[in-house]
Structure 1
Amino acid sequence: MAIWQYLLIVVPENSIDKNYNIFENNETDFLPDTDSFWENFDGDIPSIISELDQIIPKANWGNDTFINWKGDGNNDEDNDACICLTDDKTKIKEFQFRIDLRKASNITNVLQSILNLCKKNQFVLIDLKGEIFKPEMQYSMESLKNSNAMKFIADPIQFFENLENKRNNFK
Protein backbone atom coordinates (compact mmCIF):
# COMPACT_ATOMS: atom_id res chain seq x y z
CA MET A 1 0.00 0.00 0.00
CA ALA A 2 1.36 3.38 -0.98
CA ILE A 3 1.35 6.10 1.67
CA TRP A 4 -0.87 8.29 -0.54
CA GLN A 5 -3.60 5.63 -0.63
CA TYR A 6 -6.60 5.83 1.69
CA LEU A 7 -7.88 2.34 2.53
CA LEU A 8 -11.41 1.40 3.48
CA ILE A 9 -12.79 -2.01 4.41
CA VAL A 10 -16.31 -2.85 3.22
CA VAL A 11 -18.80 -5.03 5.13
CA PRO A 12 -22.58 -5.51 5.01
CA GLU A 13 -24.35 -3.00 7.23
CA ASN A 14 -26.64 -5.57 8.83
CA SER A 15 -23.69 -7.72 9.96
CA ILE A 16 -22.01 -5.29 12.30
CA ASP A 17 -22.85 -3.70 15.60
CA LYS A 18 -22.18 0.03 15.32
CA ASN A 19 -20.20 -0.07 18.59
CA TYR A 20 -17.98 -2.93 17.45
CA ASN A 21 -14.29 -2.19 16.95
CA ILE A 22 -12.95 -4.48 14.23
CA PHE A 23 -9.37 -3.90 15.37
CA GLU A 24 -9.97 -4.49 19.08
CA ASN A 25 -9.54 -8.26 18.92
CA ASN A 26 -6.96 -8.31 16.14
CA GLU A 27 -3.72 -9.72 17.50
CA THR A 28 -1.73 -9.60 14.23
CA ASP A 29 0.13 -6.92 12.30
CA PHE A 30 -2.29 -7.40 9.40
CA LEU A 31 -5.78 -6.14 8.69
CA PRO A 32 -8.39 -8.15 10.61
CA ASP A 33 -10.38 -10.86 8.87
CA THR A 34 -13.86 -9.79 7.86
CA ASP A 35 -15.21 -13.09 6.52
CA SER A 36 -17.56 -13.50 9.50
CA PHE A 37 -19.33 -10.26 8.53
CA TRP A 38 -20.15 -11.71 5.12
CA GLU A 39 -21.66 -15.02 6.31
CA ASN A 40 -25.29 -13.92 5.87
CA PHE A 41 -24.80 -11.69 2.84
CA ASP A 42 -26.93 -12.87 -0.06
CA GLY A 43 -26.45 -10.00 -2.48
CA ASP A 44 -25.67 -10.25 -6.18
CA ILE A 45 -21.90 -10.82 -6.23
CA PRO A 46 -21.54 -10.87 -10.05
CA SER A 47 -23.33 -7.51 -10.20
CA ILE A 48 -20.95 -6.02 -7.59
CA ILE A 49 -17.94 -7.30 -9.54
CA SER A 50 -19.36 -5.98 -12.80
CA GLU A 51 -19.97 -2.56 -11.28
CA LEU A 52 -16.41 -2.40 -9.92
CA ASP A 53 -15.21 -3.27 -13.44
CA GLN A 54 -16.83 -0.02 -14.57
CA ILE A 55 -15.08 2.03 -11.86
CA ILE A 56 -11.50 0.68 -11.83
CA PRO A 57 -9.81 -1.47 -14.50
CA LYS A 58 -9.40 -5.12 -13.60
CA ALA A 59 -5.82 -5.99 -12.60
CA ASN A 60 -3.75 -8.50 -14.53
CA TRP A 61 -3.22 -10.68 -11.44
CA GLY A 62 -5.45 -12.65 -9.12
CA ASN A 63 -7.88 -15.41 -10.04
CA ASP A 64 -11.57 -16.34 -9.86
CA THR A 65 -11.66 -16.13 -6.06
CA PHE A 66 -9.14 -13.32 -5.48
CA ILE A 67 -10.39 -10.55 -7.78
CA ASN A 68 -8.34 -7.34 -8.10
CA TRP A 69 -8.72 -3.97 -9.75
CA LYS A 70 -5.87 -1.50 -10.30
CA GLY A 71 -5.79 2.03 -11.65
CA ASP A 72 -2.95 3.76 -13.49
CA GLY A 73 -0.30 4.61 -10.90
CA ASN A 74 1.74 6.46 -13.52
CA ASN A 75 -1.15 8.90 -13.93
CA ASP A 76 -1.67 9.45 -10.17
CA GLU A 77 -4.67 7.11 -10.36
CA ASP A 78 -3.30 4.38 -8.08
CA ASN A 79 -6.78 3.34 -6.98
CA ASP A 80 -7.38 -0.32 -6.34
CA ALA A 81 -9.89 -2.77 -4.96
CA CYS A 82 -9.97 -6.41 -3.95
CA ILE A 83 -12.75 -8.88 -3.38
CA CYS A 84 -11.93 -12.33 -2.00
CA LEU A 85 -14.53 -15.03 -2.54
CA THR A 86 -15.03 -18.46 -1.02
CA ASP A 87 -13.70 -21.37 -3.08
CA ASP A 88 -17.17 -22.06 -4.49
CA LYS A 89 -17.50 -18.33 -5.41
CA THR A 90 -20.86 -18.01 -3.65
CA LYS A 91 -19.78 -15.78 -0.74
CA ILE A 92 -17.57 -12.78 -0.23
CA LYS A 93 -14.87 -13.21 2.42
CA GLU A 94 -13.28 -9.77 2.11
CA PHE A 95 -13.83 -6.52 0.24
CA GLN A 96 -11.59 -3.48 0.49
CA PHE A 97 -10.46 -0.60 -1.68
CA ARG A 98 -7.85 2.15 -1.70
CA ILE A 99 -8.10 5.63 -3.18
CA ASP A 100 -5.07 7.56 -4.46
CA LEU A 101 -5.23 10.98 -2.78
CA ARG A 102 -2.74 12.64 -5.14
CA LYS A 103 -5.45 13.60 -7.61
CA ALA A 104 -8.79 15.22 -6.71
CA SER A 105 -10.67 13.34 -9.45
CA ASN A 106 -9.91 10.10 -7.62
CA ILE A 107 -12.09 11.35 -4.79
CA THR A 108 -14.80 13.00 -6.85
CA ASN A 109 -15.07 10.18 -9.39
CA VAL A 110 -13.66 6.89 -8.09
CA LEU A 111 -14.46 7.22 -4.39
CA GLN A 112 -17.94 8.60 -5.12
CA SER A 113 -18.66 5.72 -7.52
CA ILE A 114 -17.58 3.12 -4.95
CA LEU A 115 -19.65 4.88 -2.27
CA ASN A 116 -22.66 4.63 -4.60
CA LEU A 117 -22.01 0.90 -5.08
CA CYS A 118 -21.80 0.49 -1.30
CA LYS A 119 -25.04 2.41 -0.69
CA LYS A 120 -26.85 0.34 -3.30
CA ASN A 121 -25.78 -2.88 -1.56
CA GLN A 122 -26.29 -1.67 2.04
CA PHE A 123 -22.58 -1.80 2.95
CA VAL A 124 -20.77 0.22 5.60
CA LEU A 125 -17.13 1.26 5.62
CA ILE A 126 -14.41 0.79 8.22
CA ASP A 127 -11.26 2.90 8.17
CA LEU A 128 -7.85 1.95 9.54
CA LYS A 129 -8.68 3.53 12.89
CA GLY A 130 -11.66 1.21 13.28
CA GLU A 131 -14.27 3.89 12.67
CA ILE A 132 -17.45 2.54 11.08
CA PHE A 133 -19.51 4.83 8.88
CA LYS A 134 -22.13 4.93 6.15
CA PRO A 135 -20.89 5.20 2.55
CA GLU A 136 -21.55 8.90 2.18
CA MET A 137 -19.00 11.46 1.08
CA GLN A 138 -19.33 13.62 4.22
CA TYR A 139 -18.37 10.69 6.49
CA SER A 140 -15.65 9.51 4.14
CA MET A 141 -14.15 13.01 4.05
CA GLU A 142 -14.09 13.21 7.86
CA SER A 143 -12.21 9.91 8.00
CA LEU A 144 -9.98 10.80 5.07
CA LYS A 145 -8.92 14.11 6.64
CA ASN A 146 -7.67 12.24 9.72
CA SER A 147 -5.86 9.53 7.77
CA ASN A 148 -2.11 9.09 7.52
CA ALA A 149 -2.49 9.24 3.74
CA MET A 150 -3.91 12.78 3.95
CA LYS A 151 -1.29 13.84 6.50
CA PHE A 152 1.37 12.68 4.04
CA ILE A 153 -0.26 14.45 1.07
CA ALA A 154 -0.67 17.69 3.05
CA ASP A 155 2.94 17.84 4.28
CA PRO A 156 5.25 14.89 3.50
CA ILE A 157 8.24 16.31 5.38
CA GLN A 158 6.21 16.94 8.53
CA PHE A 159 4.67 13.48 8.22
CA PHE A 160 8.10 11.81 8.27
CA GLU A 161 9.38 14.10 11.01
CA ASN A 162 6.40 13.07 13.14
CA LEU A 163 7.19 9.41 12.47
CA GLU A 164 10.79 9.97 13.50
CA ASN A 165 9.69 11.74 16.69
CA LYS A 166 7.35 8.87 17.57
CA ARG A 167 10.16 6.38 16.94
CA ASN A 168 12.53 8.32 19.15
CA ASN A 169 9.93 8.46 21.95
CA PHE A 170 9.76 4.66 21.99
CA LYS A 171 13.51 4.21 22.48
Structure 2
Amino acid sequence: MAAYQFFLDVIPKSVLLEKYDRIPDKISVSTKTDLSESYTRKYWKIAETDPTQIVEEIDKLLPRADWGNDKHIHIWKIKTNKVDNDAHLIVNKRTGYIEYLCFRADLREDRLQFLMNMIELAEKFDWIFMDSKDNLANPDIHEIKKLIVKSNAFRFIHNPQKLLDDLKPENLT
Protein backbone atom coordinates (compact mmCIF):
# COMPACT_ATOMS: atom_id res chain seq x y z
CA MET A 1 0.00 0.00 0.00
CA ALA A 2 1.36 3.39 -0.95
CA ALA A 3 1.73 5.93 1.83
CA TYR A 4 -0.79 8.26 0.17
CA GLN A 5 -3.53 5.63 -0.17
CA PHE A 6 -6.47 5.63 2.23
CA PHE A 7 -7.73 2.11 2.97
CA LEU A 8 -11.38 1.24 3.53
CA ASP A 9 -13.04 -2.11 4.11
CA VAL A 10 -16.60 -2.45 2.88
CA ILE A 11 -19.29 -4.03 5.06
CA PRO A 12 -22.97 -4.70 4.31
CA LYS A 13 -24.96 -2.26 6.44
CA SER A 14 -27.87 -4.65 7.00
CA VAL A 15 -25.67 -7.13 8.87
CA LEU A 16 -24.30 -4.46 11.21
CA LEU A 17 -27.83 -3.24 11.95
CA GLU A 18 -28.94 -6.80 12.62
CA LYS A 19 -26.04 -7.42 14.99
CA TYR A 20 -25.90 -4.07 16.83
CA ASP A 21 -29.36 -2.50 16.21
CA ARG A 22 -27.44 0.59 15.05
CA ILE A 23 -24.22 1.47 13.29
CA PRO A 24 -21.52 1.76 15.97
CA ASP A 25 -18.73 4.30 15.64
CA LYS A 26 -16.13 1.57 15.91
CA ILE A 27 -15.87 -2.20 15.96
CA SER A 28 -13.28 -3.75 18.23
CA VAL A 29 -12.10 -7.06 19.64
CA SER A 30 -14.78 -9.14 21.32
CA THR A 31 -14.02 -9.81 24.98
CA LYS A 32 -16.04 -13.03 24.77
CA THR A 33 -14.16 -14.63 21.89
CA ASP A 34 -10.95 -12.60 21.55
CA LEU A 35 -11.79 -12.46 17.86
CA SER A 36 -11.87 -9.16 16.12
CA GLU A 37 -15.40 -8.03 15.46
CA SER A 38 -13.82 -6.06 12.65
CA TYR A 39 -13.05 -9.23 10.71
CA THR A 40 -15.27 -8.19 7.82
CA ARG A 41 -15.48 -11.58 6.12
CA LYS A 42 -17.92 -12.78 8.74
CA TYR A 43 -20.33 -9.95 7.86
CA TRP A 44 -20.19 -10.79 4.16
CA LYS A 45 -20.80 -14.47 4.99
CA ILE A 46 -24.03 -13.54 6.75
CA ALA A 47 -25.10 -11.17 3.96
CA GLU A 48 -24.87 -13.82 1.21
CA THR A 49 -24.28 -11.22 -1.51
CA ASP A 50 -23.97 -12.17 -5.16
CA PRO A 51 -20.93 -10.38 -6.62
CA THR A 52 -22.08 -10.02 -10.24
CA GLN A 53 -23.56 -6.53 -10.18
CA ILE A 54 -20.88 -5.15 -7.85
CA VAL A 55 -18.09 -6.50 -10.05
CA GLU A 56 -19.75 -4.90 -13.09
CA GLU A 57 -19.98 -1.54 -11.30
CA ILE A 58 -16.34 -1.54 -10.16
CA ASP A 59 -15.31 -2.57 -13.70
CA LYS A 60 -16.74 0.79 -14.80
CA LEU A 61 -14.52 2.65 -12.32
CA LEU A 62 -11.13 0.96 -12.63
CA PRO A 63 -9.34 -1.34 -15.06
CA ARG A 64 -8.52 -4.87 -13.96
CA ALA A 65 -5.04 -5.48 -12.63
CA ASP A 66 -2.88 -7.63 -14.87
CA TRP A 67 -2.33 -10.16 -12.07
CA GLY A 68 -4.40 -12.29 -9.70
CA ASN A 69 -7.76 -12.16 -11.43
CA ASP A 70 -9.91 -15.25 -11.80
CA LYS A 71 -13.56 -16.06 -11.10
CA HIS A 72 -12.97 -15.89 -7.32
CA ILE A 73 -10.52 -13.01 -7.03
CA HIS A 74 -11.14 -9.64 -8.64
CA ILE A 75 -8.43 -7.01 -8.48
CA TRP A 76 -8.74 -3.56 -10.00
CA LYS A 77 -5.80 -1.20 -10.24
CA ILE A 78 -4.91 2.06 -11.85
CA LYS A 79 -1.47 3.45 -11.25
CA THR A 80 -0.03 6.38 -13.10
CA ASN A 81 2.36 9.09 -12.02
CA LYS A 82 -0.70 11.04 -10.80
CA VAL A 83 -3.05 8.46 -9.29
CA ASP A 84 -2.93 5.04 -7.60
CA ASN A 85 -6.35 3.55 -6.77
CA ASP A 86 -7.30 -0.09 -6.35
CA ALA A 87 -10.04 -2.43 -5.16
CA HIS A 88 -10.16 -6.11 -4.20
CA LEU A 89 -13.15 -8.43 -4.12
CA ILE A 90 -12.94 -12.08 -3.10
CA VAL A 91 -15.69 -14.57 -3.88
CA ASN A 92 -16.13 -17.63 -1.69
CA LYS A 93 -15.37 -20.67 -3.87
CA ARG A 94 -18.00 -22.83 -2.18
CA THR A 95 -20.94 -20.41 -1.95
CA GLY A 96 -20.27 -18.00 -4.82
CA TYR A 97 -21.04 -15.06 -2.52
CA ILE A 98 -18.80 -12.11 -1.70
CA GLU A 99 -16.33 -12.97 1.03
CA TYR A 100 -14.36 -9.72 1.18
CA LEU A 101 -14.36 -6.27 -0.41
CA CYS A 102 -11.99 -3.38 0.18
CA PHE A 103 -10.39 -0.50 -1.68
CA ARG A 104 -7.62 2.06 -1.40
CA ALA A 105 -8.20 5.60 -2.58
CA ASP A 106 -5.34 7.85 -3.58
CA LEU A 107 -5.65 11.02 -1.50
CA ARG A 108 -3.66 12.94 -4.12
CA GLU A 109 -6.38 12.47 -6.74
CA ASP A 110 -8.23 15.57 -7.94
CA ARG A 111 -11.58 15.84 -6.18
CA LEU A 112 -11.02 12.29 -4.84
CA GLN A 113 -13.00 10.99 -7.80
CA PHE A 114 -12.50 7.28 -7.12
CA LEU A 115 -13.44 7.67 -3.46
CA MET A 116 -16.54 9.64 -4.47
CA ASN A 117 -17.48 6.87 -6.93
CA MET A 118 -17.11 4.24 -4.21
CA ILE A 119 -19.31 6.35 -1.94
CA GLU A 120 -21.97 6.29 -4.67
CA LEU A 121 -21.69 2.51 -4.90
CA ALA A 122 -21.98 2.27 -1.12
CA GLU A 123 -25.19 4.27 -1.23
CA LYS A 124 -26.54 2.10 -4.04
CA PHE A 125 -25.65 -1.23 -2.37
CA ASP A 126 -26.21 -0.11 1.24
CA TRP A 127 -22.66 -0.47 2.56
CA ILE A 128 -20.73 0.95 5.49
CA PHE A 129 -17.00 1.72 5.37
CA MET A 130 -14.40 0.77 7.97
CA ASP A 131 -10.91 2.28 8.12
CA SER A 132 -7.71 0.52 9.22
CA LYS A 133 -8.37 1.58 12.83
CA ASP A 134 -11.79 -0.16 12.87
CA ASN A 135 -13.73 3.13 12.74
CA LEU A 136 -17.00 2.96 10.81
CA ALA A 137 -18.44 5.58 8.49
CA ASN A 138 -21.57 5.90 6.44
CA PRO A 139 -21.12 6.54 2.72
CA ASP A 140 -20.93 10.26 3.31
CA ILE A 141 -17.89 12.32 2.35
CA HIS A 142 -18.15 14.42 5.52
CA GLU A 143 -17.99 11.33 7.74
CA ILE A 144 -15.18 9.84 5.70
CA LYS A 145 -13.20 13.09 5.79
CA LYS A 146 -13.15 12.80 9.59
CA LEU A 147 -11.41 9.44 9.20
CA ILE A 148 -9.11 10.67 6.46
CA VAL A 149 -7.68 13.55 8.50
CA LYS A 150 -6.73 11.06 11.25
CA SER A 151 -5.03 8.68 8.82
CA ASN A 152 -1.33 8.19 8.20
CA ALA A 153 -2.00 8.68 4.48
CA PHE A 154 -3.24 12.20 5.16
CA ARG A 155 -0.36 12.88 7.55
CA PHE A 156 2.10 11.63 4.93
CA ILE A 157 0.73 13.90 2.21
CA HIS A 158 0.73 16.99 4.41
CA ASN A 159 3.97 16.48 6.31
CA PRO A 160 5.88 13.33 5.36
CA GLN A 161 8.94 14.14 7.45
CA LYS A 162 6.90 14.60 10.64
CA LEU A 163 5.14 11.28 10.09
CA LEU A 164 8.48 9.52 9.60
CA ASP A 165 9.96 11.25 12.65
CA ASP A 166 6.95 10.20 14.74
CA LEU A 167 7.58 6.58 13.76
CA LYS A 168 11.16 6.54 15.05
CA PRO A 169 11.60 4.13 17.98
CA GLU A 170 12.49 6.89 20.42
CA ASN A 171 9.21 8.66 19.62
CA LEU A 172 6.95 5.62 19.99
CA THR A 173 7.01 5.50 23.77
Q: Which structure 1 residue ranges, 5 or more long, are not aligned?
A: none
1:168 equivalent in alignment to 2:173: no
Deviations 1:13-47 (A, max 9, x none): 0112333844425979xxx6322101232445211
* Root-mean-square deviation over aligned CA pairs: 2.2
Q: Is the 8 A contact 1:65 1:89 kept in 2?
A: no
Over 3 Å counting, the alpha-carbon distance change for 1:19 and 1:140 in structure 2 is closer
User: Following TM superposition, by how much is the alpha carbon of 1:117 offset from its aligned partner in structure 2, in angstroms?
Assistant: 0.5
Report what 1:65 is aligned to: 72
Matches within 5 A, 1:134-149: 134-149=138-153
Task: After TM superposition, give the deviation of residue 104 of structure 1 in Å.
Answer: 2.4
Shift of 1:50: 0.6
Shift of 1:48: 0.5
Asked if residue 131 in structure 1 is aligned to residue 135 in structure 2, the reply is yes
Structure 1 residues 89 and 68: alpha-carbon distance in aligned structure 2, compared to 1, 3 A threshold = farther
Contact preservation (8 Å) 2:129, 2:139: yes
Identity among equivalent positions (%) equals 27
In structure 1, distance between residues paired with 2:25 and 2:146: 19
CA offset digits 1:45-95 (Å, max 9, x no partner): 2111011011111111122111100012x3321100000110046211110
Which residue matches 2:56? Answer: 50
Q: Is the CA contact (8 Å cut-off) linking 1:12 and 1:41 kept in structure 2?
A: yes
Q: Distance between the aligned counterparts of 1:93 and 1:20, measured in 2?
A: 23
TM-score by length of 1: 0.85
